[in-house]
Amino acid sequence: MLAWIPFLEPMNALQSLWYLLLIPMAFGISVIYKALHEDDFLHYWRSVFLMTTQVVLGITFLAVGIGLFIQIVIPMVTLP
């Protein structure tokens, strides 16, 4: 740990669970975005959790779609 350079060498502690960091990142972005753009703070937390869910589901569906595209469509196109 003494020779670890933070921005040049990745830390391997969360490498196998990197996709779980999407949830706190989306939550933090949603909190800040809704704090700046929400007119009525009566439903602030509901809109924050709704936006967090939308971001996480959107990125998940994009990842699945790209994965299916790479696994199914590209091999079909490259067949002789």
Are residues 26 and 55 in contact, defined by beta-carbon separation less than 8 angstroms?
A: yes
Rounded to 5, what percent of the chain is helix, strand, coil? Answer: 75, 0, 25
Predicted local distance difference test score (pLDDT) of residue 1: 60
pLDDT tens digit string along 20-60?
889 999 999 999 999 999 988 999 999 999 999 999 999 99
Dihedral sign (CA 37, 43, 44, 45): negative
pLDDT score of 79: 85
Which residues are CB-contacts of 27 (< 8 A; sequence separation ≥ 6)? 48, 52
- Dihedral angle computed from the Cα positions of residues 26, 29, 33 and 36, in that order, rounded to the nearest 10 degrees: 150
Any idea which residue has 């040049």 for tokens? 8
The answer to whether residue 3 scores a pLDDT higher than 90 is no
**pLDDT at residue 53, as a whole number:** 98
